A = this chain, B = another copy of it.
Amino acid sequence: MFFQILDILGTIAFAISGVLIALNKKMDPFGVLIIAFVTAVGGGSLRDVLIGIQPVSWMTNMTYVYVIFGATVFAVLFRNKLNYLRKSLFLFDTIGIGLYTVVGIEKGIVADLHPIICISLGTMTACFGGVIRDILCNEIPVIFRKEIYATACILGGLTYFLLREFMSDTNFVFVIAGIIVIVVRLLAVKFRISLPSLYKDKP
């Protein structure tokens, strides 16, 4: 139940981030809704299709559909006021990537895949909704260019597989892994930490 609520909060945050970018591109109402959707479910859909879980998750669980639709309408109506929510949205989004990472890892484990593949699936679940959103908006995906984002997911995934060696309660290990993702991202943003640049000149 607790997880379900967090999952929904994450989905809301992802959908709203899609709405804000779509509005910025002056899309029409249909475009805004689609961008909200792909941001929220794109990463999970890609994961499901690559593993072979079909129909993909959001097609068999209407909760996502209603939540994303509601979040989109809310975000469009109150878009001028969303600035006041900036901090909450950032927090939701961060909770979202923590949860999505854990969900992705779990699906990989259920499909009996190698830990490295499972970590990739977790990262994909958390990050590729945003990648597809950016492609549909004709931008180079933001996560390829800056910010600790995917890296937090990867660290969370590594934590999961390390801890599992020592602990038998996998649910507890999942919680820890999700928290690692969230804490790494919060710290990285607070202290402006980013991946070391590959370029001598400032990008």
Contacts and interface: CB of A to CB of B under 8 A. Distances in A.
B45 A55 contact: no
Contact of A139 (B35, B117, B138, B197): B138
Nearest to A31: B144
A22 B140 CA distance: 11
B140 A140 contact: no
B138 A27 contact: no
A86 interface: no
B113 A59 contact: yes
B136 A30 contact: no
B136 A141 contact: yes
Nearest to A142: B31
A87 B196 CA distance: 30
**Residue of A34, A114, A138 with most chain B CB atoms under a 10 A cut-off:** A34
Contacts of A35: 144
A30 B151 contact: yes
Contact of A50 (B26, B45, B146): B45
A31 B116 contact: no
Interface string A50-61: 111011100110
Contact of A144 (B27, B49, B131, B144): B27
Nearest to A139: B138
A20 interface: no
A198 B23 contact: yes
Nearest to A19: B198
Contacts of A70: none
A26 B198 CA distance: 8
